[in-house]
Structure 1
Amino acid sequence: MMTFSEGDAPGGLLEPGEPPAVERVPGTSGQWLIVCDHASPCVPVRLSHLGLSESELSTHIGHDIGAAAVARRLAKRLSATLILSRYSRLVIDCNRYPSDPKAIPEVSDGIRVPGNCRPSNEEYGRRVDALFRPYHRAIASELDELMRTGGIPVFISVHSCTPSLDGQWRPWEIGFSWSADQRTCAPLISDLAKAGIVVGDNEPYSLDLGVDFTTPEHALRRGLPHIQVEFRQDLVRSQIGAEQWADVLADKILGRAGTPEWQTVQHPTGWQREVLERAPAEFRLDASHA
């Protein structure tokens, strides 16, 4: 269970009638849980688009382009429950510890975000309470229920990445981010590579303990098998492309569904455990999961 409060309160961030912070799409299988941290470019009405244009918010700085469509298709293929964040990563990045200054960035990929300029402690707290806490509480509650009945779900976090960064082309069509626990990613990387897919092994990003929040706090801390995956945005920008690439991954996941290592709990040890234990206490999961 999370140590978080009950989300937005009167006088908080969201106006009456605005969508809640979290979307939950129920599934019938307890074998998987899929999450999408950066699913939406939406900004609460009170924040006036953060001073950005709609076209700026619709780019990769506002959300992971195509990730929500991939996640929905993947959830359908796996009959999995899906949990999505409904507001932009620029309002609060749900994959960062709120104590990290980059959780509410003043500049993103060279674009100044006027609405994030020197936010007060009150404003910071309002965004955490309204958006970050409910999203992670929903994930934790889902995992609590699955594990209460004896399940060991594979935790799948879906992201997308730009085709290039700082002028450097990213050749990887799908990339996996992991730390020391390779039991899910290693066989998938191998299977996809054999199928002719250009696969990133900790490319374009590794799983950054102490920086990334969602997979370390929900999956590693509980010892769950996990997959953090990036799809290149030019491939998943359209609905057709998103569904095609979701199917590519779904086929390989389902082909490995009976793998014994995917059905066991393996708690982090050594430096991984030390990093997790140094995480800000207010935003850590309940110690009973460690």
Structure 2
Amino acid sequence: MQDPADSESLLASDEPPAVDWRAGSIDPFFFVCEHASNRVPRALGDLGLPSEAFERHIAWDPGAAQLTLGLAERFGGAAVLQRYSRLVIDCNREPELPDAITPLSEDTPIPGNQGLGEDERRGRIAAIWAPFHAAVDRLLNARVAARKPTALVTIHSFTPVYRGVSRPWHVGIISTGDRRFAEPMLAALSREAGLVVGDDQPYSARDNVDYTIRRHGRERGLPHVMIEVRNDLLRTARDVSQWVERLGDALTESAGAVGLPGPIRV
């Protein structure tokens, strides 16, 4: 159950690296999915959990990877996806926060995350968290240096019921203090009859969920938005395809609203 203190011993040579990325060839969208996978490094075993726990939202965002890749394919945009579970370390948190390696997720204790020493935490940061954000930094810095128009879009999914409370939203738009891209996204999605759209729902920056868009978007001055889709609406390939179309149309409209060049559908 212990984390080795270095990335080489945490991830075996035949295990995938922490980051799956593609540079993209068409502007302006840069897609990121921090919770794409429920994989755990072999060195950590099962974190003391039954196998069914890794199908739950506590381990990943079901459907988010497929949605991210579908949007990247629609636009020919760049994409960066995390290959390991948020239970190993949450890449949408500052690594020093207690819930970055959470000992309790929703109502479920995570035995393999309890009582970790500093070396164990550093091992997870070095192997999983740091390479992920380094990849985002590298790709975005190259785009900024080349003066390529860029909008950062992070993709997540959320549970229909959280701690016994039903959530009415079909999709949520999460923002930082810079709402120039969030506002047109909300306007575009809210025009669809019957679609319940959350503004900073079911999460907001107050819940510490804005790390990626804040660090990589707001701090660079880039238009940015975090999109949350309810995960029971992403169960099939057809579901995902419908959301790719819906969100793709809203992203296209929003890019125009903030003065970015119109994306080309490929």
After TM superposition, is the score higher than 0.5? yes
CA distance in 1 between counterparts of 2:216 and 2:41 reads 26
1:183, 1:262 within 8 Å by CA — same for their partners in 2? no
How has the CA–CA distance of structure 1 residues 260 and 96 changed in structure 2, closer, same or farther, with 3 Å as cutoff?
Answer: closer
Matches within 5 A, 1:197-208: 197-208=195-206
CA distance in 2 between counterparts of 1:209 and 1:200 reads 15
Residue 148 of structure 2, aligned match among 146, 151, 159: 151
Residue 134 of structure 2, aligned match among 133, 137, 145: 137
Matched letter for residue 205 of structure 2: L
CA distance in 2 between counterparts of 1:260 and 1:182 reads 11
Residue 244 of structure 1, aligned match among 234, 242, 257: 242
SS at 2:20's partner residue? strand
How has the CA–CA distance of structure 1 residues 221 and 87 changed in structure 2, closer, same or farther, with 3 Å as cutoff?
Answer: same
Give yes or no for the alignment of 1:50 onto 2:47.
yes
Q: 1:176-197: CA deviations, max 9, x gaps?
A: 0113222111112111111222
2:180, 2:258 within 8 Å by CA — same for their partners in 1? no
Q: 1:56-92: CA deviations, max 9, x gaps?
A: 1111000011111111111111211110000000000
Matches within 5 A, 1:139-288: 139-196=136-193, 197-208=195-206, 212-262=210-260
Q: CA deviation at 1:209?
A: 8.2
1:177, 1:205 within 8 Å by CA — same for their partners in 2? yes
How has the CA–CA distance of structure 1 residues 178 and 212 changed in structure 2, closer, same or farther, with 3 Å as cutoff?
Answer: closer
Structure 1: state its 5+ residue gaps.
Answer: 1-6, 264-290
2:176, 2:210 within 8 Å by CA — same for their partners in 1? no
Structure 2: state its 5+ residue gaps.
Answer: 262-266
How has the CA–CA distance of structure 1 residues 8 and 237 changed in structure 2, closer, same or farther, with 3 Å as cutoff?
Answer: farther
SS at 1:175's partner residue? strand
TM-score (norm 2): 0.91
SS at 2:255's partner residue? coil
SS at 1:30's partner residue? coil
Q: 1:113-170: CA deviations, max 9, x gaps?
A: 1111111111100000000000000000010011111123100000111012222221
2:7, 2:124 within 8 Å by CA — same for their partners in 1? no
CA distance in 2 between counterparts of 1:201 and 1:260 reads 18
Residue 118 of structure 1, aligned match among 106, 115, 118: 115
RMSD of the alignment, in Å?
1.7
How has the CA–CA distance of structure 1 residues 101 and 252 changed in structure 2, closer, same or farther, with 3 Å as cutoff?
Answer: same
CA distance in 2 between counterparts of 1:182 and 1:248 reads 20
Q: CA deviation at 1:212?
A: 3.4
CA distance in 2 between counterparts of 1:184 and 1:108 reads 31
Residue 68 of structure 1, aligned match among 65, 68, 72: 65
1:225, 1:262 within 8 Å by CA — same for their partners in 2? no
CA distance in 2 between counterparts of 1:114 and 1:24 reads 31
Give yes or no for the alignment of 1:97 onto 2:103.
no
SS at 1:159's partner residue? strand
SS at 2:39's partner residue? coil
